[in-house]
Chain A
């Protein structure tokens, strides 16, 4: 896997440029044995899901279409407070004690951005909205943006009754504005390239139940992020190569398909050659 794969991410098979949303599906098979329990995403009273039929599938744990901004309140101040309400979250809501990065994220109309490949996805008469981390000084707060959702605590099942999923699939749509600066991106400061750790642009991450206390030191994490890769064949660097991170601090968080942490065993350098 090399730059051809990267291009397929930036330019979809239907010819959309990077201005357009693309959908990312990831299967994370974290452990042997799939529990064959059947449920569905818990329904939001009076708030139908944009993909109602999909969310009613028996294998679905959780759905969020971000179409109801009132489910993501933020109160600016010191400290900033906010929450995420969804009946699929433990207790129906994850509150400020487990939230961070609240000031730098917003729920915006999808019309703010280029049209998604499948078009608008309203929830009935409720207009389509999206989650956005706002790092644009012209438009609002800058900094790390986050919305944390607790699905269950240790020893518990999910709200819909399903047992803890050790093998799971995720799907989301992703878009960055054309002026987006990745870590190590010379776009905003070409002299900063090569600065320490231009490696880590987290997008969506997953944790075990203990993760909300200290995600970095949770017993494992898994997620999609972008990292910086040097293509030795073309003497070029790319700050936006898609990677998937798994593992824990003890094994220095392996990432694939580009694993600079893998050492001499089980090497994965598919963005190479190296």
Chain B
């Protein structure tokens, strides 16, 4: 699990369409500055489509986001209108190869 500023034992896990695609627990997730706000808890959310100001790529197309949920435990995929959502954690991936 994570700790204070600059300590590399934080965790990030990610799932796409119910499949866990990433998990690591040796990450410095709290930044390096021991200020009062560092890892003091989530305060804001920014739904955003942003390109770095130095990037010169011409913009085109649309980025679309829907059904945002924030929780303190696993959420699960959408289950359809008015549904309760699938609250069962996904099974561990199998037959994965690292090349």
The interface of chain A, by Cβ under 8 A from chain B, is 1-2, 4-5, 8-9, 12-14, 16, 21-32, 34-35, 41, 48, 50-55, 57, 59-66, 101, 104-105, 108, 110, 113, 116-124, 128, 130-137, 139, 142-154, 162-185, 187-189, 192, 195-212, 215, 218-220, 222-223, 242, 244, 246-248, 250-251, 254, 256-257, 265-266, 268, 270
Determine the chain B residues whose CB is within 8 A of the CB of A246 once the complex forms.
Answer: 10, 12, 27-31
Of B39, B58, B96, which one neighbours A188 at CB under 8 angstroms? B58
User: What is the minimal beta-carbon distance from B28 to any residue of chain A, in angstroms?
Assistant: 6
Q: How many angstroms from the CA of A124 to the CA of B96 in the assembled complex?
A: 40
B75 contacts A195, C-beta separation under 8 Å: no
Tell whether A181 pairs with B72 under 8 Å between CB atoms, given A166-B40, A246-B27: no
Taking the closest CB of chain A, its distance from the CB of B94, in whole angstroms, is 12
- Within the complex, the shortest CB–CB distance from B15 to chain A, in Å, comes to 4
Closest chain B residue to A193, Cβ basis = B57
Name 9 A/B residue pairs within 8 A (Cβ), A-sorted: A23-B16, A26-B15, A53-B85, A62-B68, A64-B69, A135-B62, A151-B44, A154-B40, A207-B42
Given the known inter-chain contacts A172-B66, A181-B59, A182-B57, please indicate yes or no for A52 contacting B40, CB distance below 8 A: no
B28 and A266 contact, CB distance less than 8 A:
yes
Known contacts A29-B2, A257-B24; A244 and B14 CB within 8 A of each other:
yes
Q: How big is the B interface, by class?
A: 35 or more
User: Shortest CB–CB separation between residue B41 and chain A, in angstroms?
Assistant: 2
Q: Which residues of B have CB within 8 Å of A218?
A: 37
Question: What chain B residues lie within 8 Å of A139 (beta carbons)?
Answer: 62
Question: How far, in angstroms, from A171 to B99 measured CA to CA in the complex?
Answer: 29
Residue of B11, B21, B78, B96 with highest tally of chain A CB at under 10 A: B78
Interface flags for B37-60 (1: CB within 8 Å of A; 0: not) read 111111111111111101111111
The 3 A-B residue pairs whose C-beta atoms are closest, nearest first, are: A164-B41, A180-B61, A133-B49
User: Which of the residues A166, A197, A256 comes within 8 Å of B41, measured between beta carbons?
Assistant: A166
Q: Report if A203-B65 is in contact (Cβ < 8 Å); known contacts: A2-B98, A149-B44.
A: yes
Across the interface, which residues of B come within 8 angstroms of A55, CB to CB?
Answer: 69
Distance of A244 Cα from B28 Cα, bound (Å): 12
Measured CB to CB, the closest approach of chain B to A218, in angstroms, equals: 7
Q: Which single residue of chain B is at the shortest CB-CB distance from A29?
A: B11
Q: B1-33: which have CB < 8 Å to A?
A: 1-4, 6, 8, 10-19, 21-22, 24-33
B64 at the interface (CB under 8 A from A): yes
Tell me if A184 and B55 are in contact (CB < 8 A).
yes
Q: Report the nearest A residue to B21, measured CB to CB.
A: A5
* A135 vs B58: C-alpha distance when bound (angstroms): 9
Interface check B88, CB cutoff 8 A: no
The smallest C-beta distance from A201 to any residue of chain B, in angstroms, reads: 6
Q: Is the CB of B70 within 8 A of A169?
A: yes
Closest A residue by C-beta to B53: A197
Of the listed residues A2, A41, A199, A220, the one surrounded by the most CB atoms of chain B closer than 10 A to its CB is A220
Interface contact A167-B37, CB-CB below 8 Å: no
